[in-house]
Structure 1
Amino acid sequence: MTDAIVSTDTPVFLVGGGTVDKQAFLSGLALCQTLVAADGGADTVLEFDHMPDAVIGDMDSLSLAARRMIPDHRIHQIAEQDSTDFEKCLATIDAPLILGVGFLGARADHMLAAMNALTCQTAKRCVLIGAEDVIFAAPPELALDLPDGCRVSLFPMTQVTGRSAGLHWPIDGITFSPCGRVGTSNRATGPVQLTFDMPGMAIILPRARLEQALQGLAQAPGWPPVP
């Protein structure tokens, strides 16, 4: 599952099957030229009076009504069950940035699976937008122009070490891991600089800081390709 279904040099807006408020939908759509739905996310796209450019997934949650409304050539079924619809989308979208909604929220298992995929697929740059937060995988180096007191949570999906400047509780010398030390509810003292020694850290910011997250990621280096 390596061939691109969607290939573009501009950001892609990806809508999942979870809860999506209309303001988040319209905000994300305004930043992207291509609209993709992950399986049942197509129902949400149609509900908001838009047509997806592509629907990707195993199609086990796409409603019959949505399937009838969407042209066949826009529906791309990937039947295998070893990956989630979100993983299928990450693997088959070739774009400089993916903005995703409908992957965080009501279903904890779906949210954890999305965070796992987010931090494992290091070649893809993706930001997930939820009701309260934006979440993305940390690049090797990241500068965030944040105000004093802004919440900055760091959640490791594997063992990770790094360094920081501009955090109330510096992370230097700390080994983070899912079953050990995590970085919930740290906060900025002003602009933040983060450096990580390996991939696997999820960064969680307030949703109101989406613009700063996108600015920081646009200037950040990527991880070296996995051999």
Structure 2
Amino acid sequence: MDIESVQDAVIVSRNHTVCLVGGARVNPQVITSILPIVDHFVAVDGGADHLLDAGISPRAVIGDLDSLSEHARATFAAQITHIPEQATTDFEKALTRVANPMIIALGFTGGRMDHILAVLNVLARNTARAVILLDETDLCFVARIGETRIAPPAGTRIALMPLAAARVTATGLRWSFADQDMHPTGFISSSNEVAGPVTVQTDGPVLITLPAAHLQIAMQAAARG
């Protein structure tokens, strides 16, 4: 199910930044660090327990609720939207009901490997959304179809990882490349380095990965519109 097909089910829809919090491991310091730039938090199933621990009341709690503690269930009873169908993951359930222009997602990059791969699958199918996966070490987002410009400091670690077939030109890297076919089973650009302002031109879904310290820079680059 594509995100664009469920506009009638939107729960959170404002011109602000929202943070989705999933049930995988979350460093409480990361939640604290993004408080000044996040307008609303949305818990994704067991992520409600992370927000409960942080003393944050979410705008909504979304998911099939199979990982939600009884304490969180009782505390956030008024915010719960139970979606029992199993055709989509809890991450996709939340994204289909959040129409904010910028989404930061915590608690989706650790834990079970199949959960991480499922998150990347959703991002690859919804390149029109500005979604940044974040943890205490790294962040990543899907480059715009067309051109993405980003200017981290020279020497910053960066990776370009295709989520499907894409033809890509990337400049401003230590190892730049032009008109290159990229594919998950073919050419990738991991452990690259910023040499100057970076421009990525792509016709397919390509994940840009940076250190978490560059969240503000990533938000500017990931913005759609």
For the aligned pair, the TM-score class normalised by the smaller chain equals: over 0.9
The one of 116, 133, 139 equivalent to 1:134 is 139
The one of 153, 164, 187 equivalent to 1:181 is 187
| Separation of aligned partners in 2, 1:28 and 1:107 | 24
Whether the aligned pair in 2 keeps the contact of 1:151 and 1:188 (CA below 8 Å) is yes
1:192 matches 2:198: yes
Q: Give the secondary structure class of the aligned counterpart of 2:136.
A: coil
Q: Give the secondary structure class of the aligned counterpart of 2:177.
A: coil
| Separation of aligned partners in 1, 2:72 and 2:170 | 47
The one of 101, 112, 117 equivalent to 1:112 is 117
Question: Mapping of 1:198-213 within 5 angstroms?
Answer: 198=204, 200-213=205-218
Aligned to 1:47: 53
Question: Mapping of 1:1-227 within 5 angstroms?
Answer: 2=6, 3-72=9-78, 74-139=79-144, 140-198=146-204, 200-218=205-223, 221=225
Could you tell me the TM-score, scaled by structure 1's length? 0.91
Report the alpha carbon displacement of residue 6 of structure 1 after superposing the two structures with TM: 1.2
Could you tell me the TM-score, scaled by structure 2's length? 0.92
Gaps of 5+ in 2: none
Report the alpha carbon displacement of residue 71 of structure 1 after superposing the two structures with TM: 3.0
Q: State the number of aligned residues.
A: 218
| Separation of aligned partners in 2, 1:38 and 1:71 | 14
Report the alpha carbon displacement of residue 208 of structure 1 after superposing the two structures with TM: 1.1
| Separation of aligned partners in 2, 1:156 and 1:79 | 32
Whether the aligned pair in 1 keeps the contact of 2:63 and 2:90 (CA below 8 Å) is yes
| Separation of aligned partners in 2, 1:209 and 1:113 | 25
Q: Give the secondary structure class of the aligned counterpart of 2:16.
A: coil
| Separation of aligned partners in 2, 1:118 and 1:130 | 17
Report the alpha carbon displacement of residue 79 of structure 1 after superposing the two structures with TM: 0.9
| Separation of aligned partners in 1, 2:19 and 2:35 | 6
User: Residue by residue, what CA displacement relative to the aligned partner does 1:79-107 show, whole Å, maximum 9, x if unpaired?
Assistant: 11011110111111010111110001222
| Separation of aligned partners in 2, 1:143 and 1:173 | 17
Q: Give the secondary structure class of the aligned counterpart of 1:18.
A: coil
Report the alpha carbon displacement of residue 145 of structure 1 after superposing the two structures with TM: 1.2
Whether the aligned pair in 1 keeps the contact of 2:141 and 2:222 (CA below 8 Å) is no
Question: How large is the RMSD of aligned CA atoms in angstroms?
Answer: 1.4
